[in-house]
Amino acid sequence: MQAAGDIEGGEALAPVEVVEAAAEAVAEIRRDLERARTLTREAVGALQASFQTLNGKVQAQRAALEGLVKELVTTTGSADGIAGITAQMVDGFVQEMVRVSRDGLELVGLLDDMAVQVNEVVARSGGIEKLARQTRFLALNARIETHRAGEAGRTFKLVADEVKRLALESAQLSEQIGIVVGETRATLDKSRARATSMASHDMASAISSHRQLGEAIGKYQLVNQTMNSALDEINAQVTAAMRAVAFEDALASLIDGACRKLDSLGAAVRILVTLVPRSRGGDTTARMVIDLLRGQASAAAE
C-alpha cells in the first residue's frame, strides 16, 4: 500500500516510474501476504498445540475422576470400592445383630424352661421336707410307745432314735437343696437378664448409618455424572475448536491463490515497463494504466 501512496503524487512522474512503483507495490503486497500466511500458520500451530494439551488434560482428569469414583463408589452391593465395602460391613453388622437377638431370644426361652425345671426340683424338695416331718413325728410316737413298753421297748427305742436322726438329716438335706435351688434361681435370673440385653438392640444407629451411606453413594454418583457431563462438554468443545482452527489450510490456499494472481499481475506490470514511453509529464494512457493497476493492487490486497 506504500507503493500506492507513492503513486498518489504521480502527476509529476514519468509513466515508466509510475509503472515501476506499481510493480514494487505488487511485490510488497505479495511479501505482506506471505508474512500473513507465516504468522497465521504459527498462530494456528500454537493454538492447535494448546488445544491438544487441553484435550490431554481433560482426558487425564476424566481418568483420575473415574479412578477415584471407582475406588469410592461402585453400585451398592458390589464388593469393590470403599463405599461397597462399608455397605457390606454395615449389612454384616446388622445381620449379626439380628442373629444375636434371635439367639438371645432362644436362650431366654431355654432359661425359662430351666426355671420351670428348677421349680419342679423345689416341689420335689418340698416332698422330702414333708416326709422328714412325718418321719420325725413317727419317731416321736415310737419313742412314746417305748416308754409305755418299759424294759421290753428298750431295743425299739434305739430304732426310734435312729429314725429321728434320719428324719433330721432328711430335713437338713432338704434345707441344703433349698439353698442350692435359691442360688440356681439367682444365676438363672442373671443369665436371663444378660440374654435379654443381648437380644434387645435399638436399630436407630444401623438405620442412620445405612441412610447416610446411601446418601453418600448417591452424592458421589451425582458428582461423577455431573463431572462426566462437564468433561464430555469440554471434550466436544475442544474437538470443535480443533476443527475450527483447521481454517488455516483454507486460508493458506487462498493466500497462495492471491500470490499467484499477484505474480501474474507483476509479470504484466514488467511487460508494461517495456512498453510505456520514458518521457516525463502526464499522459492519458499512462494515467489509465496507473488507475487500472491501483484498482488491481487494492483488490489483490483485500
Per CB under 8 A, the list member of 8, 11, 202, 302 interacting with other proteins is 202
User: According to the binding rule CB under 8 A, does residue 95 interact with other proteins?
Assistant: yes
User: According to the binding rule CB under 8 A, does residue 106 interact with other proteins?
Assistant: yes
Per CB under 8 A, the list member of 15, 81, 84, 104 interacting with other proteins is 104
Query: Taking the complex as a whole, how short is the minimal distance between the CB of residue 197 and other proteins, in angstroms?
Result: 9
User: According to the binding rule CB under 8 A, does residue 24 interact with other proteins?
Assistant: no
Site pattern 211..230 for other proteins (x: CB under 8 A): x-------------------
The per-residue DSSP string of 170-206 comes to HHHHHHHHHHHHHHHHHHHHHHHHHHHHHH----HHH
User: According to the binding rule CB under 8 A, does residue 102 interact with other proteins?
Assistant: yes
Query: Taking the complex as a whole, how short is the minimal distance between the CB of residue 192 and other proteins, in angstroms?
Result: 11
Buried b (16+ CB within 10 A) or exposed e, 85-115: ebbeebeeebeeeeeeeeebeebbeebeebb
**Residues present in the chain in total:** 302
CB 160 within 8 A of CB 143: yes
Nearer to other proteins, 172 or 208 (CB): 208
User: According to the binding rule CB under 8 A, does residue 206 interact with other proteins?
Assistant: yes
DSSP conformation class of 79: S
Q: Which residue has the cell 509513466?
A: 15
DSSP conformation class of 13: S
User: According to the binding rule CB under 8 A, does residue 94 interact with other proteins?
Assistant: yes
Distance of alpha carbon 138 from alpha carbon 157, whole angstroms:
12
Per CB under 8 A, the list member of 97, 128, 131, 188 interacting with other proteins is 97
Q: Which residues have CB under 8 Å from 97's CB, separation 6+?
A: 201, 206
DSSP conformation class of 9: T
User: According to the binding rule CB under 8 A, does residue 10 interact with other proteins?
Assistant: no
Query: Taking the complex as a whole, how short is the minimal distance between the CB of residue 100 and other proteins, in angstroms?
Result: 8
**Site of interaction with other proteins (CB under 8 A):** 90-91, 94-95, 97-106, 108-109, 196, 199-203, 206-207, 210-211
